[in-house]
Amino acid sequence: MTGRRKLIAGNWKMNGLKAHLSEVSAIAKLAGARDDIDVALFLPATLIAAAAPLADGVLIGGQDCHQAQSGAYTGDISAAMLVEAGAGATLVGHSERRAYHGETSADVAAKAAFAHGAGLKVVLCVGETLETRELGDEEAQDWVVDQLLASLPEGADPDWLTIAYEPVWAIGTGKVATPPQIAAMHATLRAALVARLGEKGAAMRLLYGGSVSGDNAADILHLPDVDGALVGGASLSAAKFAPIIAAA
Ligand code: PEP
């Protein structure tokens, strides 16, 4: 993943069995036809080893990794395990991890730093709940900036770190943030990144995620400061992912 080339990333969440690996191959074919953008798939950990050899030209990633090397953390997965399985990246801080597993922004920063230390690229997710958005657009922006700054790892660098803005109320709901809402949030996040990281903040990719589909991708991907998309439901099949890749 380099510079601010567009990145179209799919997050399969807890979906996908070996029978679905044909979709990985089909998505790799789509990605192979585009040398001007990056494509990534964040898969269930159980599919990574089987998917990696099928996914030439697609960055394969896990959906979370623990902030320790190894140890008594039943059910968790380490960065080294992801690397050994064939992953080149991981998500951290997805709102479903924050909500259902109680992950704090400090946890997220530690996970990102640890994943980078193990050689993984990292896509770090932030985003506000509906309750916060209903306080007002500016309040939502302030809240997400605070969450982002608290989640940023030591040594954050665009060579390995990408930020995904995903309003929680837009994830899996079919309710997309409006282009003005996305543009305003991305401009605010960009300013915060530049204030914190200088040139590195200017060069860091900022993705939008939340009910992105073939119908709305072009409108979103052409907004200033939107450097790609993190896509859940519409990344599960090549047929639905194709128009999003085409819109980048
Ligand atoms: C996601 O899981 O990160 C996501 C954005 O999901 P969806 O596209 O289904 O809203």
What ranges in the chain are assigned the alpha helix state H? 21-32, 45-51, 79-85, 95-100, 105-117, 130-133, 137-151, 179-197, 199-202, 217-221, 238-247
ipTM of this predicted complex?
Answer: 0.96
CA of 72 to the centre of ligand 1 (A): 31
CB 38 within 8 A of CB 50: no
Mean of all residue pLDDT scores within the chain: 97
Q: For residue 164, which atom of ligand 1 is closest to its CA? A: 3
Does ligand 1 come within 6 angstroms of the Cβ of 171? yes
Domain spans of the chain, in order of start: 7-247
Say how far apart CA 85 and CA 16 lie, in whole Å.
Answer: 16
pLDDT at 3: 63
The residues assigned a catalytic role are 94, 166
First-last CA distance in the chain = 15
93 lines ligand 1 (CB under 6 A): no
Backbone angles phi, psi at 173, to 5 degrees: -105, -15
What pLDDT digit, counting tens, does each position of 59-97 carry? 999 999 999 999 999 999 999 999 999 999 999 999 999
Q: 82 alpha carbon to ligand 1 midpoint, in Å?
A: 22
What is the pLDDT at residue 174? 87
pTM value is 0.97
Ligand 1: residue whose CA is nearest its atom 8 = 232
Cα of 209 from ligand 1 centre, angstroms: 6
Percent of the chain with pLDDT over 90: 97
Judge contact between 246 and 229, C-beta under 8 A: no
Contact 101, 77 (CB under 8 A): no
Domain 7-247: which topology?
Answer: TIM Barrel (3.20.20)
Question: pLDDT tens digit string along 142-200?
Answer: 999 999 999 999 999 999 999 999 999 999 998 889 999 999 999 999 999 999 999 99
pLDDT tops 90 at residue 2: no
- List pLDDT tens digits, range 16-28: 999 999 999 999 9
